[in-house]
A and B are shown apart, each in its own frame.
Chain A
Amino acid sequence: EAGVAQSPRYKIIEKRQSVAFWCNPISGHATLYWYQQILGQGPKLLIQFQNNGVVDDSQLPKDRFSAERLKGVDSTLKIQPAKLEDSAVYLCASSLRYVRVSPLHFGNGTRLTVT
């Protein structure tokens, strides 16, 4: 089966600019996650979708970050305006069912550098 697809692979922007990341999960996976992984740290959950509804966005900085999952399939994560501390790898993951039952499948991530 095809894995989780993310694009772009790398992105360099200046602070205060906007950026968007795209994720296409594994076909049939109802749950989609966006994680932020800062260098030297473990991934931190930003937002979790179940189909096209938000399950958890408690750690999403809503003043600058937004995410949507149209029709319960693809998802985009946007940052506007970007700050230096947003430099990180943004990981998308999907799972068929709950994590106790189904493993998360991760994409290769988008590495964002904010200068």
Chain B
Amino acid sequence: AQSVTQLDSHVSVSEGTPVLLRCNYSSSYSPSLFWYVQHPNKGLQLLLKYTSAATLVKGINGFEAEFKKSETSFHLTKPSAHMSDAAEYFCVVSEAGGSEKLVFGKGTKLTVNP
């Protein structure tokens, strides 16, 4: 069965510095991988997705992630953090075939300090 591990439950950065949110996955088959963001009292929003095309995926708001099969990783990065990036981020995996259900990680809370 597929699963994801988000290596940090909390990440704190200063505004204008780089962001790195780490995610490792486990999947028996070719996975699709996603990052979702959840702002306080808001619904989950898709940031970006990997579905076996280019390994470097660009998303909204300047975020990107790189699929590394050899490391089973899908880390989320952003060159320069903005105050509005403060939120909870979820790494998500889905396997091809069947119901293609999404399996969420436990989340990483990003704090951006002025």
A residues whose Cβ falls under 8 Å from a Cβ of B: 3-4, 33, 40-45, 48, 55-56, 91, 93, 98-100, 103-109
Tell me whether B94 and A99 are in contact (CB under 8 A): yes
- Give residues of chain B (24-80) contacting chain A, Cβ–Cβ below 8 Å: 32, 34, 41-46, 49, 51
For residue B17, give the distance in angstroms from its CB to the closest CB of chain A. Answer: 26
B74-91 interface bits toward A, Cβ cutoff 8 Å, 1 = contact, 0 = none:
000000000000000010
The verdict on A100 contacting B43 (CB below 8 Å), with A41-B107, A55-B99, A56-B99 known, is no
Interfacial chain B residues near A43, Cβ < 8 Å: 44, 90, 104
Tell me whether B100 and A100 are in contact (CB under 8 A): yes
Most buried by B among A3, A42, A103, A109: A42
B residues whose Cβ falls under 8 Å from a Cβ of A: 32, 34, 41-46, 49, 51, 90, 92, 94, 96, 98-107
27 intermolecular pairs with C-beta atoms under 8 Å apart: A4-B43, A41-B106, A42-B92, A42-B104, A42-B107, A43-B44, A43-B90, A44-B104, A45-B102, A45-B103, A55-B99, A56-B98, A56-B101, A91-B43, A91-B44, A93-B44, A99-B34, A99-B100, A99-B102, A100-B51, A100-B96, A100-B100, A103-B49, A104-B44, A105-B43, A108-B42, A108-B43
Complex Cα spacing A18 to B34, Å:
35
Most buried by A among B42, B43, B45, B101: B43
Interface of chain A, main secondary structure = loop
Tell me whether A106 and B49 are in contact (CB under 8 A): no
Tell me whether B104 and A99 are in contact (CB under 8 A): no
The verdict on A45 contacting B101 (CB below 8 Å), with A40-B106, A99-B94 known, is yes
Interfacial chain B residues near A91, Cβ < 8 Å: 43-44
Tell me whether B106 and A107 are in contact (CB under 8 A): no
Interfacial chain A residues near B32, Cβ < 8 Å: 99-100
Tell me whether A48 and B106 are in contact (CB under 8 A): no
Complex Cα spacing A48 to B99, Å:
8
Tell me whether B46 and A104 are in contact (CB under 8 A): yes
For residue B55, give the distance in angstroms from its CB to the closest CB of chain A. Answer: 16
Tell me whether B101 and A106 are in contact (CB under 8 A): no
Q: Which residue of B lies closest to A56 (CB)?
A: B99
